[in-house]
Amino acid sequence: MARTGISFEDVRNAAESLLGRGLNPTIQRVREVLGTGSNTTISEHLKDWQQQLAEAPKIVLPPTVPEAVALALDAFWKIAVQHAEAVFDQQRTVAAQTVAAAEQARNAAITEQRQLESEIQQLRRQLEATQTAARELADRLLIEQERRMAAETTIQAAEQRVQAAAENIAQIRVETRARVGQLETALHHAQTELEQQAAETKRLLETERQRAEANEARLTEILEYSRAEWLAERQLFASDRNDWKNREVDLQARLENQTREQIATREALLVANERQQSLSVELQQMRGGLREHETRYLETLRVAEHLRGELKAAVEARQHLEQQTNPIQAAQPSRKAASKPK
């Protein structure tokens, strides 16, 4: 069914516009002119348009052309249109089958291994190249037919052009069959490579599975060893924790004793400070008294020195006085010394 939104008239007008410009109205060109539409819808409308042209051809010839020539050109036109339709249907069927085979191979390759996507893309590009070549061949056929219609003036020229068209169609069929054979060979090679790569992938997966099992066993062994070490560390930690608890209790007791000793020492220090302050006061008082006694002692010494000087002066005055009052007593010792016998 044709998709709504693109009518037969739109496709017909686009095809006639392309013919007016000397271009073959292919599906891709009609879609470029319309700017939208699916290939299936455009293909169905083009097929209907070509059928209408085949059923009611409209060839405008000069009035001087004989009726036999006009009938021959009419027959040639119908044959050419039938050949074009046959080639077009055949190419579209072959292309659709090729596309279906390529898509089926692509889906199988994606399901088995996504790494083969590049090769499937290459096959798709080859398929698109084949479709493009088929469309170009159809374009060439239509252009050749148009040239024959415009250039034919006699029945002999028309027969020669029909013969040339038949030869071209045969050549197109041969080329198309060769291309289809090449595509089938490429698809067969691709399928073979896919099977080989799938086997290689399966082998790699088996190797990875065995490696994973070995790693899992090794990891289990490591976990068991780690668990045993963890239990030993846990027991050692519990023992150390008990020791630390005992040490903490002992240190707490020592700390309390030191705290009590510090309190007692602080109290004794306070008493000593108070005693020191009291002694300092007494010392200051004693120093004050000592300074007072020293002052009195110095005063006494000065008085004593003064009295000593006065006493010394008095003694000297007394001696002087004695020498003056009793001069004979000074000479008596000499007399007594002279009267002693020898």
pLDDT tens string 18-30: 887 878 888 999 9
Indicate whether 56 pLDDT > 60: no
Asked whether the beta carbons of 37 and 6 are under 8 A apart, the reply is: yes
* Higher pLDDT among residues 43 and 247, named by residue: 43
What global pTM score does this model have?
Answer: 0.23
pLDDT (tens digit per residue) in 106-115: 677 678 777 7
CA dihedral 158, 162, 164, 166 (to 10 degrees): 180
pLDDT confidence tier of residue 275, bands split at 50, 70 and 90: confident
- Cα–Cα distance between 112 and 176 in angstroms, integer? 32
- Give percent above pLDDT 70 in the chain: 77
What's the pLDDT at 259? 86
DSSP H helix total and E strand total for the chain: 7, 0
Q: How many CB atoms lie within 10 A of CB 11?
A: 27
pLDDT (tens digit per residue) in 64-98: 656 655 555 665 566 556 655 665 666 567 656 76
pLDDT (tens digit per residue) in 199-251: 887 888 788 888 878 877 887 887 788 788 878 878 886 887 888 788 878 87
Mean pLDDT of the chain: 77
